[in-house]
């Protein structure tokens, strides 16, 4: 048994006995409620928004981009080209570019970049930069003109500007 309601710019509205509601607005927009708190919205342009009733929202934009909000402030964004950006709701952002590069911003000015080849670059937000090249060499710039280079063999070179 189903109830069918029609109106201006509204194709039939189907309300099924088990709580499922499907609404089409005549302009390509479809909204589906499953009676359990799940809502799926299609806007006719390839965009799909899904709410699961527990604070989780998944948005697909029809161009390969997917954004997921988990209801706790965490948002992972996938751009369809292998790039993933994750915001944890506390100012921390992690970006993976699909080529092994990872960039982490901690919301306090610290940035850590891993290039997938063993190189790590860390910026602490106070002018200090530390670069590890994956072969035991570490270069540290202290933001005051001093550069310290450790070559992994016990040799340290200090350069003062």
Residue 129 burial (CB < 10 Å; 0-12/13-18/19+)? middle
Please report the pLDDT score of residue 26 as a whole number.
Answer: 84
- Asked: is 1-71 a CATH 2.20.220 domain? The reply is yes
The pLDDT assigned to 65 comes to: 95
Q: What pLDDT score does 13 carry?
A: 55
- The full DSSP string for the chain is -EEEEEETTEEEEEEETTS-EEEE-SSS-EEEE-SSS-EEEE-SSS-EEEE-SSS-EEEE-SSS-EEEE-SSS-EEEE-SSS-EEEE-SSS-EEEE-SSS-EEEE-SSS-EEEE-SSS-EEEE-SSS-EEEE-SSS-EEEE-SSSEEEEE-SSS-EEEEE-
Q: For residue 124, what pLDDT is reported?
A: 97
Per-residue pLDDT, 12: 58
Report which of 88, 49, 83 is spatially closest to residue 71, judged by C-alpha positions. Answer: 88
Domain ranges of the chain: 1-71
- The pLDDT, as a whole number, for residue 135 is 95
Say if pTM beats, i.e. exceeds, 0.75: yes
Mean pLDDT split into 10-residue runs, the chain, 161 residues = 48 64 89 92 95 96 96 96 96 96 96 96 96 96 95 93 78
pLDDT of residue 31: 93
Non-local (6+) Cβ contacts of 2 within 8 A are 14, 15, 16, 17
């Amino acid at each position: 048994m189903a109830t069918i309601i029609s109106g201006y710019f509204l194709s039939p509205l189907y309300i099924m006995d088990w709580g499922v509601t499907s609404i089409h607005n005549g302009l390509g927009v479809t909204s589906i409620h499953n009676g359990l708190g799940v809502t799926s919205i299609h806007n006719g342009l390839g965009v799909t928004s899904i709410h699961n009733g527990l604070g989780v929202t998944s948005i697909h934009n029809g161009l390969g981009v997917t954004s997921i909000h988990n209801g706790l402030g965490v948002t992972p964004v996938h751009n369809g080209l292998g790039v993933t950006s994750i915001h944890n709701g506390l100012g921390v952002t992690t970006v993976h570019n699909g080529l092994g590069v990872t960039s982490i911003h901690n919301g306090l000015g610290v940035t850590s970049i891993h290039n997938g080849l063993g190189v790590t670059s860390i910026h602490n937000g106070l002018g200090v930069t530390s670069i590890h090249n994956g072969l035991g060499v570490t270069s540290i710039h202290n933001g005051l003109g001093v550069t310290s280079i450790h070559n992994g063999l016990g040799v340290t070179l200090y350069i003062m500007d």
